[in-house]
Amino acid sequence: MKIERIHISGFKNLEDQVLEMGSGFNGFWGENGMGKSNLLEALFVLAKGKSFRPYSSRNDWIPESGKDLFVEARFRDSFNLEYDLRMHKRESGRIQWSMNGKTCKLSELSEKVPLVVFSPDDHSLVRGSPDYRREYLDSLLTDVCPGYAEILSRFEKSLKSRNKLLKALQKSERFEYTTELDTWTRSLAQEAWGLWSLRRELWPKFSQYFQSVVIPLFEGLNPSIQIYYEFDESLEKVVDETEFKNKYYHILKDNFRVDLATGWTHKGPHRDDFKVEISGLDARSKSSQGQARLLALSLRWTHALWVAEERQEIPLFLIDDFSNELDILRRKKLLDLLGQISGQILVTGTDSSTISEAAKRADFGDYSAFEVARGKILKI
């Protein structure tokens, strides 16, 4: 998957401009705070409907009153199919996405353009909250499993509606299991099956890809590395759809007082997690900063490898703040990995010398350099 052209205006500090991308390596260089990361974020938001940056919400994307906001780009896949994606702020202030001129749901849009992002926050995949790992896994499965995004969207809508009702009941101090709450409880149990069963089905393959990646990346360091999925123990031994829906419904019903007390649903696939163990120790709490970053690189490359082999499509690589992300050895490992796949790469950084010479190697095809200053991006 490659991006050919992007027209952007009003996304955070970025000025109205059109950029033509090189088919190989594209480096965006400049001082901190100039808008380099905003460009990568805009591309990710355009393709996925959300940011890869922690704590960045839709309100952060919308410019000051009176200013326009839109991002549009043309993508081309390995089968020469074109995808013209566009997002813009409507007069109502809401953001709308479209593909090839037609308004579309985010669940449909997010499956079209596979993206793999490397950022300074990636160590949170290992040592951060479970939210980071769930978001990573959902993004990966969206890219490799047709229909996953729609299943996830339906589940999240039911979960949001149930939580909204729980908060309303809590606010009104109506601490009882109502008919309306039962309706949303049944809906959530119905929608959870598809998400839970797909994750269980796909996890062994994910684990296999991860092991094939992590062994060479940790070459010379000799730790024993294992990865495990953590399902809700009360649902782990369920074998079929009917049993799952019935059991999960009763789990939700039995725990409704806890949910009412806090205003959110405590049990279900939205609470799943996974852990990596290094020499038998939980990396979430026992890994060093360097180990966490290398494990995060392994997770990101697992995403890339799975997409490339399952979809026969090379994902678009976005690397944010390359010079700060990894030490010299790990940067070389990442470059070596990228050199094995003839994909398009967009990199940001403050020092072009950390990558320019390596990027000019034949492995990466053409090399395009851009200077970023105060929201303006100019080709060098």
196 and 344 share one domain: no
Domain end (from 289, 312, 335): 312
228 falls within a domain: yes
262 and 343 share one domain: no
181 falls within a domain: yes
137 and 237 share one domain: yes
When pLDDT is cut at 50, 70 and 90, the band that residue 63 belongs to is low
264 and 371 share one domain: no
16 and 42 share one domain: yes
321 and 302 share one domain: no
Domain limits at 345? 1-114+314-380
121 falls within a domain: no
Reply yes or no on whether the pLDDT at 146 is more than 70.
yes
222 falls within a domain: yes
Q: What is the pLDDT of residue 141?
A: 96
Mean pLDDT of 322-327: 60
pTM, whole model, 2 decimals?
Answer: 0.89
What CATH number is associated with residue 70?
A: 3.40.50.300
Mean pLDDT over the full length of the chain = 89
Q: What is the pLDDT of residue 306?
A: 95
8 and 68 share one domain: yes
Domain end (from 253, 281, 312): 312
223 and 334 share one domain: no
120 falls within a domain: no
Q: What is the pLDDT of residue 298?
A: 92
3-state SS, one letter per residue, for the chain:
CEEEEEEEECCCCCCCEEEECCCCEEEEECCCCCCHHHHHHHHHHHHHCCCCCCCCCHHHHCCCCCCCCEEEEEEECCCCCEEEEEEEECCCCCEEEEECCEECCHHHHCCCCCEEEECHHHHHHHHCCHHHHHHHHHHHHHHHCCCHHHHHHHHHHHHHHHHHHHHHHHHCCCCCCCHHHHHHHHHHHHHHHHHHHHHHHHHHHHHHHHHHHHHHHCCCCCCCEEEEEECCHHHCCCCCHHHHHHHHHHHHHHCHHHHHHHCCCCCCHHHCEEEEEECCEEHHHHCCHHHHHHHHHHHHHHHHHHHHHHCCCCCEEEECCHHHHCCHHHHHHHHHHHHCCCCCEEEEECCHHHCHHHHCCHHHCCEEEEEEECCEEEEC
Only one residue has tokens 């990466």, namely: 364
119 falls within a domain: no
Please write the tens of the pLDDT for every residue from 98-123.
999 999 998 898 999 999 998 888 88
Please write the tens of the pLDDT for every residue from 339-359.
777 789 999 988 777 665 555
Domain end (from 265, 296, 312): 312
149 and 297 share one domain: yes
- Number of domain units in the chain: 2
Q: What is the pLDDT of residue 19?
A: 95
122 falls within a domain: no
Reply yes or no on whether the pLDDT at 65 is more than 70.
no
What CATH number is associated with residue 209?
A: 1.20.1050.90
305 and 344 share one domain: no
152 and 208 share one domain: yes
123 falls within a domain: no
CA distances 44 to 51, 86, 173, 375, Å, are 6, 12, 41, 17
Which two tokens mark 62?
């919308």
171 and 41 share one domain: no
